[in-house]
């Protein structure tokens, strides 16, 4: 059974992507505090694989992820998941 890390905490969009990965690569998923900790956990063999954000609507390219994968570790991207993100702006009645 694989150990799959994701950028946590529970309830994040990255966890949602990790759950889709788990369908193809059965295993247990674990949340991590930040991207460097997550990527280094794969590099060090603490987990088998990781789901990390490469791009998002707000930031565009997630430079920290790309920089670490390109310059700091010897890991390969083995799959890609694109998940639709739907957000709602809500407020109490009367709020402009």
Kindly list the domain boundaries of the chain, sorted by start residue.
Answer: 2-72
Q: Which fold has domain 2-72?
A: D-Maltodextrin-Binding Protein; domain 2 (3.40.190)
Instruction: Give the pLDDT mean for 2-28.
Output: 91
**What would the mean pLDDT of 13-21 be, rounded to a whole number?**
92
Separation CA 1–CA 28 (nearest Å)? 7
Contacts 24+ apart (CB under 8 A), 14-19: 14/51, 14/52, 14/53, 16/83, 17/51, 17/81, 17/83, 18/51
Q: How many angstroms separate the CA atoms of 15 and 92, rounded? A: 29
Cα-only R_g, the chain = 15
At residue 57, the pLDDT reads: 78
94 DSSP 8-state letter: T
User: So what's the pLDDT on residue 56?
Assistant: 83
In this prediction, residue 51 carries a pLDDT of: 95
**Does the pLDDT of residue 58 top 80, yes or no?**
no
């Amino acid at each position: 059974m694989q150990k799959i890390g994701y950028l946590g905490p529970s309830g994040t969009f990255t966890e949602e992507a990790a759950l889709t990965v788990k369908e193809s690569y059965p295993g247990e998923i674990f949340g991590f505090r930040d991207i460097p900790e997550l990527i280094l956990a794969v590099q060090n063999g603490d987990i088998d694989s990781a789901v990390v954000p490469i791009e998002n609507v707000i930031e565009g390219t997630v430079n920290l992820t790309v920089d670490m994968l390109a310059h700091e570790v010897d890991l390969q991207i083995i799959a890609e998941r694109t998940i639709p993100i739907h957000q709602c702006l809500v407020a109490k009645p009367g709020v402009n």
